[in-house]
Amino acid sequence: MAEAQNIPVGSTTAGSIAVAAESTVATRMSAPPSFDVQDFPVPHGREEEWRFTPLERLRGLHDGTAVATDEGVRVEVQAPEGVTVELVDRDDPRLGKGGTPVDRVAAQAYSSFEKAGVVTVPKETVLTEPIRIAVHGEGGTRFGHQVIELGAFAEAVVVIDHTGDAVLATNVDYILGDGAKLTVVSVQDWDDKAVHVAQHNALIGRDASFKSVVVTFGGDLVRLHPRVSYAGTGGEAELFGIYFTDKGQHQEHRLLVDHNNPHCKSNVVYKGALQGEDAHAVWIGDVLIEAKAEGTDTYEMNRNLVLTDGARVDSVPNLEIETGEIVGAGHASATGRFDDEQLFYLMARGIPADEARRLVVRGFFAELVQQIGVDDIEERLLVKIDEELEATV
Amino acid sequence: MATLEIRDLHVTVEADNATKEILKGVDLTVKQGETHAIMGPNGSGKSTLAYSLAGHPKYTITGGTVTLDGEDVLEMEVDERARAGLFLAMQYPVEVPGVSVSNFLRTSATAVRGEAPKLRTWVKEVKEAMERLNMDPSFAERNVNEGFSGGEKKRHEILQLELLKPKIAILDETDSGLDVDALRVVSEGVNRVRETGEVGTLLITHYTRILRYIKPDHVHVFAGGKIVESGGAELADKLENEGYEAYTKGGASE
Ligand SMILES: Nc1ncnc2c1ncn2[C@@H]1O[C@H](COP(=O)(O)OP(=O)(O)O)[C@@H](O)[C@H]1O
Ligand SMILES: [Mg+2]
């Protein structure tokens, strides 16, 4: 589980595999899932789901004091022909099908948004160009809701870009029809002050495959909750994540894969690099294999690379198995550091210091970047990773 | 002909909030084509000498000079020293997570040679060098030193020696912890490099065992932070029979 030898001071990497009759994933939360913010008490910080998050930096998203602004956050959707893009009212029946808010901020977003975006790819439509959603902040506060729905056997790539400065709380539903294939790349390339809290709910149809790539570079506080459940058998989920946590940033990724149907697969790989004083990355990976989910095949992994002193990682993989009739289940978490001895070793082989650091970080991420499968995104990420390195080292 | 000249080298380290002098005036000249064995008891400062020559930041040079072909080595950064032709095979090679051996070797060769080696010839060069050292090809895809056994780490160091072709190679206890088979393979690797006549070798060791495979031209006894006796290969035989007691009496070193 915790494989690394030189875990940086203050970091934790604690994992568990529990074989139990009943899941504790739900009972660890301070309230059951609900669309209504009133069903959640205002968190004080000691709750299991909030204990790593600096509440005082949430800009009031958690306690009802955040107020949506009319302007200051723009959302633009660019979609190829054949795709329907709509803005719909709160009572639209397509909203909320992917999953229910599991914490107070997600419920606040659901209770507060005015219009929701719905992007629909009709059945059997195979897109050759990505759908692009640009969320750009100009200092505003926004509660949002976005649905992306693929009909049966539709195929699409969606790239969601977050830039600028905003306080944003949203729920994003990904609904995959039978046999559909969806790749979503969500890039959090925020300015330094942005606060972004979101729950992603993927509901994967029979034999459908879902690939989520979450890339978090910016923001003061980013807390994302990618969640997956299956609407039928034979579904597949790949959840990839890359984060680069700089000085003072809090970046938190809390995943849940609920194997609630038989013969589904999931593969979770999140990798993060940290540098600078008080850079804090949190990774929670909950995988639940329900009693009825025989034939499940799942693996989850989190790796962290700490580049400087003063950064902290909390990594908690958690696998709960309620049936023994599975194909495979495993998890791994490791946090290591790039230290002066490693730098010396590389330099002693003629490699200049900045190149040594680049080599280590690129190498660390490369394998994962290569699995994204969207060329211009892969290139952009490698460039971005280099920029991150140059920015503060 | 490349020459490394060490003159009256004094080195300190910080330990437990105190400054401790480890090297107390080392004098040594190593020329291309020569092999010098440095032998000494544990704690006498052999690794300190090796690290100081390579430029490890933990060691402070308080006096003396080191030059390579007249160039001031002590003024150079760690990577500059390597590019100038100094190579240190480390006693304890460092694990580098996320960097594959193949990527590491190529980046290093590119830096040291000043241009990227041509891909096709490079792949062949690495493959053949690995075969000679009995290294499985899968090695290239593993992360640098991560999970390597002691013997694998040492082979990997010698692989780099063969690929980087330095002017001066410092081998710090490359023999320690190796079984006889591994010792032979590693020694053969060192000898292949030596036979080119292009490298000056500083072979640091605690035991005389490796000198059966790698014949030194000069043997130096290192004790208490300096060279206390120098001679030919016969000096190694004397150490084999008598040990280091004669040099460590008087408490110069443990
Ligand atoms: N980085 C360091 N920090 C503190 N003390 C050191 C360091 N390196 C070496 N020393 C001390 O210097 C002395 C010589 O060590 P070393 O050069 O490793 O000897 P050798 O290689 O001959 O066994 C020892 O007393 C050791 O504890
Ligand atoms: Mg030593």
Spell out the per-residue pLDDT of chain A, length 393, in tens: 333 345 666 677 676 777 766 667 777 788 999 999 999 999 999 999 999 999 999 999 999 999 999 999 999 999 999 999 999 999 999 999 999 999 999 999 999 999 999 999 999 999 999 999 999 999 999 999 999 999 999 999 999 999 999 999 999 999 999 999 999 999 999 999 999 999 999 999 999 999 999 999 999 999 999 999 999 999 999 999 999 999 999 999 999 999 999 999 999 999 999 999 999 999 999 999 999 999 999 999 999 999 888 999 999 999 999 988 899 999 999 888 888 899 999 999 999 998 998 888 888 898 798 888 888 888 888 888 888 887 754
Q: According to the model, what pLDDT value does residue A3 have?
A: 38
Of A339, A367, A383, which marks where a domain is finished? A339
Determine, yes or no, domain membership for A23.
yes
A141 and A216 in a single domain? The answer is yes
pLDDT in tens, B171-226: 999 999 899 999 999 999 999 999 999 999 999 998 899 999 999 999 999 999 99
Q: According to the model, what pLDDT value does residue A30 have?
A: 83
Pocket-testing residue among B10, B12, B46, B48, ligand 1, by greatest number of atoms within 8 A of Cβ: B48
d(CA A331, CA A327): 14
Q: What is the ipTM of this complex?
A: 0.96
d(CA A264, CA B183): 51
Q: Find the A335 Cα to ligand 1 centroid distance in Å.
A: 29
Amino acid occupying residue A47 = E
Pocket-testing residue among B11, B12, B16, B22, ligand 1, by greatest number of atoms within 8 A of Cβ: B22
A195 and A344 in a single domain? The answer is no
d(CA A275, CA A280): 9
Nearest to A314 by CA among A368, A247, A253: A253
Of A339, A357, A376, which marks where a domain is finished? A339
With an 8 Å Cβ cutoff, are B79 and A361 in contact? no
CATH number, position B24: 3.40.50.300
- What distance in Å separates residue A184's CA from the closest CA in chain B? 26
**Number of compact structural domains in chain B:** 1
Q: According to the model, what pLDDT value does residue A8 have?
A: 66
The mean of the pLDDT values for chain B is: 94
A254 and A266 in a single domain? The answer is yes
Atom of ligand 1 nearest to the CA of B49: 17
A299 and A366 in a single domain? The answer is no
What residue numbers bound the domain in which A141 lies? 12-339
Would you place residue B120 in the very low, low, confident or very high pLDDT band (cuts 50, 70, 90)? very high
Q: According to the model, what pLDDT value does residue A363 have?
A: 82
- What distance in Å separates residue A231's CA from the closest CA in chain B? 37
Q: According to the model, what pLDDT value does residue A340 have?
A: 87
CB pairs under 8 A between A and B: 79
- Does the predicted model carry a pTM greater than 0.90? no
Pocket-testing residue among B21, B42, B47, ligand 1, by greatest number of atoms within 8 A of Cβ: B47
Q: According to the model, what pLDDT value does residue B71 have?
A: 97
Determine, yes or no, domain membership for A5.
no
Q: Looking at beta carbons, which residues of chain B come within 8 Å of A360?
A: 96-99
A344 and A292 in a single domain? The answer is no
A348 and A288 in a single domain? The answer is no
A205 and A352 in a single domain? The answer is no
Measured by CA distance, the residue closest to atom 16 of ligand 1 is B45
Q: Find the A305 Cα to ligand 1 centroid distance in Å.
A: 29
Of A323, A339, A355, which marks where a domain is finished? A339
Determine, yes or no, domain membership for A1.
no
Q: Find the A357 Cα to ligand 2 centroid distance in Å.
A: 27
pLDDT at B251 over 80: no
A355 touches chain B (CB under 8 A): yes
A270 and A390 in a single domain? The answer is no
Q: According to the model, what pLDDT value does residue A65 have?
A: 97
B96 touches chain A (CB under 8 A): yes
Cβ pair A374, A240 in contact under 8 A: no
Q: Looking at beta carbons, which residues of chain B come within 8 Å of A244?
A: none
Nearest to A279 by CA among A196, A216, A363, A340: A216
Beta carbon of B58 within 6 Å of any ligand 1 atom: yes
A276 and A369 in a single domain? The answer is no
Determine, yes or no, domain membership for A7.
no
Closest by Cβ to A364, choosing from B95, B98, B104: B98
A96 and A73 in a single domain? The answer is yes
A95 and A227 in a single domain? The answer is yes
Determine, yes or no, domain membership for B196.
yes
Would you place residue B253 in the very low, low, confident or very high pLDDT band (cuts 50, 70, 90)? very low
Determine, yes or no, domain membership for A225.
yes
Q: According to the model, what pLDDT value does residue B250 have?
A: 56
Strands annotated E in chain A: 12-13, 16-19, 73-78, 84-88, 116-121, 131-150, 155-176, 181-190, 195-204, 209-216, 221-230, 236-245, 250-259, 265-274, 280-289, 297-306, 312-321, 328-337
A65 and A150 in a single domain? The answer is yes
Q: According to the model, what pLDDT value does residue A5 have?
A: 43
**Number of compact structural domains in chain A:** 2
What residue numbers bound the domain in which B218 lies? 3-249
d(CA A231, CA A175): 9
Beta carbon of B41 within 6 Å of any ligand 1 atom: no
Determine, yes or no, domain membership for A297.
yes
Q: Which residues surround ligand 2, an ion (CB under 5 A)?
A: B 46-47, 91
Determine, yes or no, domain membership for B254.
no
